Amino acid sequence: MEKIIVVGNGMVGYKFCEKLIDSPRRGNFEILVFGEESRAAYDRVHLSEYFSREKPEELLLAPLNWYQDNHIELRTSELIREIRPEQKEVVTYKDEVFKYDRLVLATGSYPFVPPIKGTDKAGVFVYRTIEDLDAMRHYASKLKKDGKSKAAVLGGGLLGLEAANAAKELGLETDVIEFASRLMPRQLDEPASNMLKTKIESLGIKIHLNKATSEIVGEEGVEKLDFSDDTSLDTDMLIISAGIRPRDELASQAGLKMGERGGVWVNNKMQTSNKDIYAIGEVAFYNGGVYGLVAPGYNMAEVAVEQITGGDKLMIERIDMSTQLKLIGTEVASFGDPFIDNNEVATIVYENKRSGIYKRINVSREGEKLLGGILIGDSSDYNNLFQLFINEMKLPEDPEDLIIPSKNGKETALGSAMDYPDSAQICSCESVTKGAICGSIESGNCENLGDVIKTTKAATGCGGCKPMVADLVKATLKSMGKEVKETLCSHFKFSRQELYDLVKINKVKDYDEALNLFGTGHGCEICKPALASIFASIYMETANKQVTIQDSNDRFLANIQKNGSYSVVPRVPGGEITPEKLMVLGRVAKKYDLYSKITGGQRIDLFGAQLHELPHIWRELIDAGFESGHAYGKSLRTVKSCVGSTWCRYGMHESVSYAIRIEERYKGLRSPHKLKGGVSGCIRECAEARGKDFGIIAVENGWNLYVCGNGGATPKHAILLAEQLDDETCIKYLDRFLMYYIRTAPPLTRTAPWLEKLEGGIDYLKDVIVNDSLGIAEELEKEMQGLVDRYECEWKQAIEDPEMMKRFKHFVNSDDVDDNLEFVPMRDQKKTKAW
């Protein structure tokens, strides 16, 4: 029996074991794994999510019994201190000696700590392991008890920004210090960095560029950072994220060949200078570099397994460092060479500072090949652009169409994933090609997306390729003449649209009845809220009717906030409010000590209400003439307006009155996702109507109606549906549009992505809504009017029903209130105390 020892149980070490277990050529191996940390391999890519998870076990790549079931001996908390290549053995820190036939080094890297005076002080941390995050959390809690709240992060690269987000999640005022002139200097150019900097600073994190730290100052702990330009920054805690260095000391001491800048030299078989010793992941020096991304590490693990089991796969010469991620709520991606700039290259840039989007692509001078690019604020095109780059595919005649937003809602110049060659690598983490994905369906081995993921392991790494994998599965099934079922969940083998029709035709009004008639099992957190939405969309049923199937926010008619308190958001139609009502809101906020904020939707949010206070607050608001604003529901939120012709000298029509009429008509309307509208009194567009699900803009001869726009992480301009409409025709078209969307959209799908997936795009939608091509216009209008006529304010309904009031208690068997809610001062108000 051949014995394999793996030193290191990080993500790459685990992947080696997984690939070896799954190898069709797996021989009779005895596998022994040494892990320095106390737990099994876990997901470092999503390490920052640890603060929002209850247990570290949720990050594990596999439970301990996986190792046992696959006959792998895992020894955690054990450090290898010596390799003896001549004797083919390793020695642990306990002086235990273990023999091997093949040795795999997956020791990874360690955080680089710059030689700055004071790095040994209390309050200085690195950002690498779960233990590091635990130590940071403990120290932060001590700081806050002492009234201190400032943290700084040394390093503005990928990990540095992740660390900054972690510090912010701990409730600390956070500064980022970067030595270079821009953030993420290896991935972003200056305009992209500036866009990212603006976005991050808008969230309250301060960025300091061109700063060289000369000393960490403090007595008992960190107090400030001194910089080489004679400036300084006060801080109570410092997280160092200034890069990584390979953990190559074992290999170096064993006399193995090293890289010029560290790391264990390996050939394209992942062999070191000793043919029986392999190195993979961040410790390996291959083709002139050390690579800190998970995808190259996984590829190295696969090559090592292939070589050990008698395969012939070799490591590719060029390591691609393309990456797509979400940093502090901002989408960031780069691929290929983002900086290339010479006479043979043409650079195309799209920049929208208002929306916070920057896109750059570098194409060959002839416009035939994509060479690299950068995406900030909207990385939805990354997968397609990456495929064009990595497969050196021919570009469209106008390459700029690849990044300029589509104006007509039709398929963009990126085309379909089915156009790619079979060799196109769809999943970089697991090296899964288009051919492997489509082939798994065509061979009959897989029947749906879940089967494909399980079989090929595509989308099990970073997950960024999952949308493209899903598209390929659907397209392949269709090409084979098979029905492509988009089922709601495992309990209902129907799409939302099919369930909508079944509920409506059969006049089903209860979840249990729907489950008995159309489903199986007991239901789940996916199908219950979806059915609740369907019932509301057909019968205008409020969230008070079937409480147990509602999302938690709908259950309590309020958005639950980060500390367990709730928000109160009364409706302010069109943004118009009387002084009397303003004073009511002020009195209520003061009486219940609520944080007050004016929102972008022209309402006033009140935060910090406890569960038992909600009915009392709403009784006062309803007595003053307010209604629920449905800020907690997948329903109409707001219809924003400018002041229009009533006050503005540019206003062409009375936008406020029309916005109020629109909001009053559709208030309480439940839909697959939230809905927002806007009415602008002229083309100056002060209500930002084209950034909404529906937007109405005044022109000389009436109103122009735009649909399917949205703001958020992936903003889309709404598209013109009809123009120069009178008041009644505009509402008629809106009735049809909203009902058609409610009938046909999948769960949790905004109008913009719904239109993108709608076959025929905006032209088809115009035919249905304006030209009545399906002959259902009158039916849609009638359905909408029925919903409008059945509207009830949910909060008025709740406070008038003693049975409904019983759910607004912290404890089922007691009237006690929750003593765990904590708030701290912020300016002249309060905020939640950080967890």
Ranked by mean pLDDT, the top range of 50-64, 629-643, 713-727 is 629-643
Ranking 151-155, 313-317, 651-655 by mean pLDDT, the lowest is 313-317
Distances (CA, A) of 297 to 13, 117, 174, 437, 496: 9, 34, 32, 22, 40
Residue 282 confidence class, pLDDT cut points 50, 70, 90: very high
State whether the Cα torsion 624-628-629-631 is positive or negative: positive
Residue 226 confidence class, pLDDT cut points 50, 70, 90: very high
User: Above 90 in pLDDT, residue 108?
Assistant: yes
- For the chain, the average pLDDT equals 90
Block residue for tokens 């600073």: 201
Give the number of C-alpha atoms closer than 13 A to the C-alpha of residue 329, restricted to the C-beta side: 16
For the chain, the structural domain boundaries read: 2-110+245-308, 124-242, 496-555, 636-800
- Is the CB of residue 799 less than 8 Å from the CB of residue 619? yes
Counting residues of the chain whose pLDDT is more than 70, the rounded percentage is 96
pTM, rounded to two decimals: 0.61
- Is the CB of residue 608 less than 8 Å from the CB of residue 830? yes
At 580-589, the pLDDT tens digits run 999 999 999 9
Mean pLDDT of 136-151: 89
Please determine, looking at this structure, whether the domain spanning 636-800 carries the CATH number 3.30.413.10: yes
> How many angstroms separate the CA atoms of 528 and 443, rounded?
35
Strand-pair partners of 609? 566
pLDDT of residue 792: 95
Mean pLDDT of 461-483: 81
pLDDT of residue 414: 56
> How many angstroms separate the CA atoms of 575 and 676, rounded?
13
Q: Quick one: fold of 2-110+245-308?
A: FAD/NAD(P)-binding domain (3.50.50)
pLDDT of residue 450: 80
User: Above 60 in pLDDT, residue 407?
Assistant: no
**Token pair for residue 401?**
């169409």
Ranked by mean pLDDT, the top range of 353-357, 466-470, 625-629 is 625-629
> How many angstroms separate the CA atoms of 770 and 335, rounded?
42
**Token pair for residue 189?**
């150019």
User: Above 80 in pLDDT, residue 52?
Assistant: no
pLDDT of residue 404: 81
Contacts for 807-811 with beta carbons within 8 Å, 24 or more apart?
807/547, 807/555, 807/556, 808/556, 808/611, 808/612, 808/614, 808/615, 809/611, 809/612, 810/610, 810/611, 810/612
- Is the CB of residue 77 less than 8 Å from the CB of residue 36? yes
User: Above 70 in pLDDT, residue 713?
Assistant: no
pLDDT of residue 462: 64
- End-to-end, the C-alpha distance of the chain in Å comes to 52
**Token pair for residue 754?**
């719904």
Mean pLDDT of 335-361: 87
Residue 26 confidence class, pLDDT cut points 50, 70, 90: confident
Distances (CA, A) of 96 to 73, 85, 229: 15, 16, 52
> How many angstroms separate the CA atoms of 606 and 603, rounded?
10
Q: What is the DSSP string of 410-437?
A: S--TT--GGGS-TT-EEETTTTEEHHHH
Residues 6+ apart with CB under 8 A from 56: 39, 42, 50, 130
- Is the CB of residue 738 less than 8 Å from the CB of residue 663? no
Ranking 153-157, 285-289, 495-499, 523-527 by mean pLDDT, the lowest is 523-527
State whether the Cα torsion 554-659-677-771 is positive or negative: positive
pLDDT of residue 365: 83
Block residue for tokens 């806007």: 678
Residue 99: phi and psi, rounded to 5, are -85, 150
- Is the CB of residue 175 less than 8 Å from the CB of residue 153? yes
Give the number of C-alpha atoms closer than 13 A to the C-alpha of residue 7, restricted to the C-beta side: 30
Mean pLDDT of 239-249: 93
Same fold, 2-110+245-308 and 124-242: yes
**H or E stretch at 529:** helix 527-539
Residue 51 confidence class, pLDDT cut points 50, 70, 90: low
> How many angstroms separate the CA atoms of 195 and 183, rounded?
10
> How many angstroms separate the CA atoms of 742 and 666, rounded?
13
For 262, the 3-state DSSP assignment is strand
**Token pair for residue 503?**
């509920």
Q: What is the DSSP string of 186-197?
A: TT--HHHHHHHH
pLDDT of residue 614: 96
- Is the CB of residue 244 less than 8 Å from the CB of residue 292? yes
Would you give the distance in Å from CA 566 to the centre of its chain? 24
> How many angstroms separate the CA atoms of 50 and 59, rounded?
8
User: Above 60 in pLDDT, residue 757?
Assistant: yes
pLDDT of residue 377: 87
Residue 696: phi and psi, rounded to 5, are -120, 125
**Token pair for residue 330?**
């901002």
pLDDT of residue 447: 84
> How many angstroms separate the CA atoms of 315 and 307, rounded?
11
- Sort 393 into a burial class: Cβ within 10 Å, 0-12 / 13-18 / 19+: middle
For 463, the 3-state DSSP assignment is coil
**Token pair for residue 286?**
């291959």
User: What does the DSSP 8-state code read for residue 647?
Assistant: H
> In angstroms, what is the C-alpha Rg of the chain?
29
**Token pair for residue 199?**
């976005």
- Is the CB of residue 755 less than 8 Å from the CB of residue 717? no
Distances (CA, A) of 79 to 36, 84, 91, 93: 5, 15, 9, 6
Please determine, looking at this structure, whether the domain spanning 124-242 carries the CATH number 3.50.50.60: yes
- Is the CB of residue 21 less than 8 Å from the CB of residue 74? no
pLDDT of residue 410: 37
User: Above 60 in pLDDT, residue 54?
Assistant: no
User: What does the DSSP 8-state code read for residue 332?
Assistant: E
Q: What is the DSSP string of 491-516?
A: TB-S-HHHHHHHHHHTT---HHHHHH
Residues 6+ apart with CB under 8 A from 141: none
At 68-86, the pLDDT tens digits run 999 999 999 999 999 999 9
Distances (CA, A) of 381 to 373, 387, 818: 11, 10, 46
Mean pLDDT of 340-344: 80
User: Above 70 in pLDDT, residue 835?
Assistant: no
**H or E stretch at 826:** strand 823-826
